[in-house]
């Protein structure tokens, strides 16, 4: 990974240092996301929250217009466009933000690229019809996530024979598909997909063995923020009460090689990273 870390990662006019852990702020413009559904789906509220996360230190804002929580109801492409594109456009124009779009839709990928998005973050790893081609045509970097099943049913009975091998094999296959479609090797980020078709034990094992996924040779994004796995571990049923657990899991992911931490609680995560980095840099 030394060669990987010797260069910056390019998001068009923006570049980020691969040696520096980055924090991605979550901006769900949905009425039904598991933690913050309905809080930021109004345009002004979304912009205000994004600006506050950038001021707190987020280097990326991840805009999502379709909830992918377990049992979530699918939305139409037009509804997703109506939720996402005006927000992406405003974040780019007004805040010069580095904006990621959390989508699996080819149409949304194309329109988000036109609006100035800098990253396509897809929980389905560009498997939906037309998504791979749209992402390649956009010229944008992509984040490919592992998910067993689909959001509606993925948590019903997740099962693996060899968890780590199945996750890494799937991610490598999707990398190969991207390379075959013309997406460059240095435009790919990988995500193990915590909470997407995985039990609490599966999630903990994948965090513990994150360095083995890192060995594939691509930057890693992790997202454990406020998820039910943390509720099961701590006994906290309400997502907003899982802030400390979220920060702890994000910090462990950073220690295990994660480059981007996708979080709800930007300020708290960055404070924890500052302490960790200060200790790491001490004589």
Q: Enumerate the active-site residues.
A: 227, 262
**Cα distances (Å, whole numbers) of residue 21 to 6, 99, 171:** 14, 17, 21
Quick one: which of 197, 196, 125, 194 has its CA closest to 159? 197
| Assigned token pair, 60 | 């990326």
CB 108 within 8 A of CB 74: no
CA distance 256 to 258: 6
- Secondary element (H or E) of residue 121: strand 119-122
Here the tokens at position 135 are 């992402």
Per the CB < 8 A criterion, the answer to whether 123 and 102 are in contact is yes
């Amino acid at each position: 990974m030394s060669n990987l870390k010797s260069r910056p990662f390019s998001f068009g006019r923006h570049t980020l240092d691969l040696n520096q852990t980055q924090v991605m702020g979550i901006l769900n413009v949905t009425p039904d996301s598991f933690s913050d559904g309905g809080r930021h789906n109004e345009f002004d509220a979304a912009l205000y929250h994004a600006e506050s996360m950038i001021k707190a230190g987020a280097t990326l804002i991840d805009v999502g217009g379709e909830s992918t929580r377990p049992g979530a109801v699918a939305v139409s492409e037009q509804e997703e466009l109506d939720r996402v594109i005006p927000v992406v456009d405003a974040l780019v124009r007004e805040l010069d933000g580095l904006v990621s779009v959390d989508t699996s839709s080819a149409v949304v990928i194309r329109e988000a690229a036109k609006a100035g998005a800098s990253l396509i973050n897809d929980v389905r790893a560009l498997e939906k019809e037309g998504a791979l081609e749209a992402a390649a045509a956009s010229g944008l970097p992509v984040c490919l996530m592992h998910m067993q099943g689909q959001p509606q049913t993925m948590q019903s009975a997740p099962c693996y024979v060899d968890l780590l091998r199945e996750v890494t094999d799937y991610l490598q296959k999707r990398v190969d598909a991207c390379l075959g479609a013309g997406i460059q090797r240095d435009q790919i980020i990988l995500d193990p997909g915590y909470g997407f078709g995985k039990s609490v034990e599966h999630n903990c094992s994948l965090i513990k063995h994150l360095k083995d996924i890192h060995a594939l040779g691509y930057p890693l994004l992790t997202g454990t923020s406020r998820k039910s796995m943390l509720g099961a571990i701590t006994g906290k049923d309400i997502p907003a009460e899982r802030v400390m657990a979220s920060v702890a899991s994000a910090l462990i992911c950073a220690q295990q090689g994660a480059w981007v931490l996708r979080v709800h609680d930007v300020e708290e995560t960055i404070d924890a990273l500052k302490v960790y980095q200060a200790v790491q840099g001490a004589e």
